[in-house]
C-alpha cells in the first residue's frame, strides 16, 4: 500500500448518470418547497410538519410529502400513523389530517412501524417519483417536501424531475460547527442544481430554563445567521429548544397548535418564506 498524504486536488466529478425525464404529471401545485439539512438530528421533519400546519392555519391548502423513504416519521408527528392509503380513478389520495394538511409517506404502506425499508437508490427514486406523479395534489397552494439528511438520491430525483416547478430549498441547521459545515454542503447542492435557497432556519437555538428564565445556548447560537449572511441568503428565524416540542411530537400533535409563542415564531418564518417566494430571482 502506498504511503504518504492522500488528497483530492479537485472536487469529486459529477455523477455520470442519465437524468430522468422531466415530469409532466406533477400538476396543480402553486408552490413546491424542499426542506433539507446537511446532517441528521437537526429537527427537519418536526420543522416540516409544523411549517405545513402553520401554512394551513393561514388559509392555504397544504400538502406534505415525506420523502424520507427509509425513515418516514411525518405521519407519526401528525398523529395519523394508523391511517391507510386508498386510490380512485384519479390517483392515490393523500391522507387528510385534522390540521388541514394532506400527507403522503412510505409509513402508510408498511405492515407496522418497526418494518425497515431496505431499498437501494433506484427503488427510492421510484417511490419519490410516485409520490409526485401518482398522488393527487390538485389545487394545492403549497407542497412541502421533507427530505432525508444529506444530498442523496431523493433530493436529486426531485431536482431533476420537477426543476421548473420547484420554488426552492429551505435549509434547517442547528448552531454547532459540525451542523453548520454540513449545511453549507446542502446550500452547495442546491446551487449546483440551480435551485434557489429560500432561506436558512436555526433550530434548537437556545434553551429557556423553566425555573429561572435564563437562556442557555446548549448548541451555541447565531451560527446559522452568519452562514446566511456570508452566503447572501435569507435568514428566516430561530426556533428555541423547547421540551414541549418533543412531548407533543411524540403524542402526534404539532407543537404550534399547543404553544402560541412557538406558533408566532413559525408564523414569522412562514411570512419570511412567502416573501422570499415572491421575490424576483435577482432580489
- Return the CATH number at 164: 3.40.50.300
pLDDT confidence of residue 10? 65
- Whether residue 6 is contained in a domain is answered as no
Can you point out the beta strands (E) in the chain? 29-36, 62-66, 86-88, 91-93, 95-96, 101-105, 140-146, 166-173, 197-203, 207-208, 215-216, 235-239
Establish if 173 belongs to a structural domain: yes
Q: Is residue 11 part of a domain?
A: no
In a domain, 53, yes or no: yes
The pLDDT of residue 8: 55
Distance CA 149, CA 140 (A): 26
**What are the pLDDT digits (tens) for 89-145?**
999 999 999 999 999 999 999 988 888 888 888 898 899 999 999 999 999 999 999
Whether 273 and 47 have beta carbons less than 8 Å apart is answered as no
In a domain, 17, yes or no: no
User: What's residue 238's pLDDT?
Assistant: 93
151 occurs within a structural domain: yes
Confidence class of residue 153 from pLDDT cuts 50, 70 and 90? confident
Domain of 122 in residue numbering reads as: 29-278
pLDDT of residue 178: 73
| Whether pLDDT at 16 is above 50 | no
pLDDT (mean) for 17-29? 78
- Which DSSP string do the residues of 255-282 spell out, in sequence order? GGGT-HHHHHHHHHHHHHHHHHHHS-TT
pLDDT of residue 73: 94
Q: Cell numbers 402508510 correspond to what residue?
A: 108
Report which DSSP code applies to 67.
-
pTM for this one?
0.89
**Domains of the chain: total:** 1
- Secondary structure (DSSP) of 146-164: EPPSSSSHHHHHHHHHSTT
In 3D, which of 170, 148, 163 has the Cα closest to residue 67? 148
Residue 230 forms part of a structural domain: yes
Could you tell me if residue 4 is inside a domain?
no
pLDDT tens-digit readout, 218-272? 877 778 888 888 889 999 999 998 888 999 999 999 999 999 999 999 999 999 9
| Predicted pLDDT at 281 | 56
Amino acid at each position: 500500500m502506498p504511503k504518504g498524504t492522500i488528497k483530492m486536488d479537485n472536487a469529486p466529478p459529477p455523477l455520470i448518470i442519465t437524468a430522468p425525464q422531466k415530469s409532466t404529471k406533477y400538476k396543480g401545485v402553486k408552490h413546491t418547497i424542499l426542506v433539507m439539512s446537511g446532517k441528521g438530528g437537526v429537527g427537519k421533519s418536526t420543522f416540516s410538519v409544523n411549517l405545513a400546519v402553520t401554512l394551513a392555519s393561514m388559509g392555504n391548502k397544504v400538502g406534505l410529502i415525506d420523502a424520507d423513504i427509509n425513515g418516514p416519521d411525518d405521519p407519526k408527528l401528525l398523529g395519523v400513523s394508523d391511517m391507510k392509503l386508498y386510490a380512485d380513478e384519479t390517483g392515490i389520495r393523500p391522507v387528510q389530517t385534522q390540521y388541514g394538511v394532506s400527507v403522503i409517506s412510505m409509513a402508510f404502506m408498511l405492515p407496522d412501524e418497526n418494518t425497515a425499508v431496505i431499498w437501494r437508490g433506484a427503488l427510492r427514486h421510484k417511490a419519490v417519483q410516485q409520490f409526485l406523479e401518482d398522488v393527487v395534489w390538485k389545487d394545492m397552494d403549497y407542497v412541502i417536501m421533507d427530505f432525508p439528511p444529506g444530498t442523496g438520491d431523493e433530493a436529486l430525483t426531485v431536482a431533476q424531475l420537477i426543476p421548473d416547478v420547484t420554488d426552492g430549498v429551505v435549509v434547517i441547521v442547528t448552531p454547532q460547527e459540525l451542523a453548520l459545515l454540513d449545511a453549507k454542503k446542502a446550500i452547495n447542492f442546491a446551487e449546483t442544481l440551480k435551485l434557489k435557497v429560500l432561506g436558512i432556519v436555526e433550530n434548537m437555538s437556545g434553551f429557556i430554563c423553566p425555573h429561572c428564565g435564563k437562556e442557555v445556548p446548549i448548541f451555541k447560537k447565531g451560527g446559522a445567521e452568519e452562514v446566511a449572511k456570508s452566503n447572501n441568503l435569507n435568514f428566516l428565524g430561530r426556533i428555541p429548544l423547547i421540551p414541549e416540542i418533543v412531548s407533543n411530537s411524540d403524542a402526534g400533535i404539532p407543537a404550534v397548535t399547543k404553544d402560541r409563542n412557538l406558533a408566532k415564531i413559525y408564523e414569522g418564518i412562514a411570512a419570511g418564506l412567502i416573501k422570499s417566494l415572491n421575490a424576483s430571482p435577482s432580489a
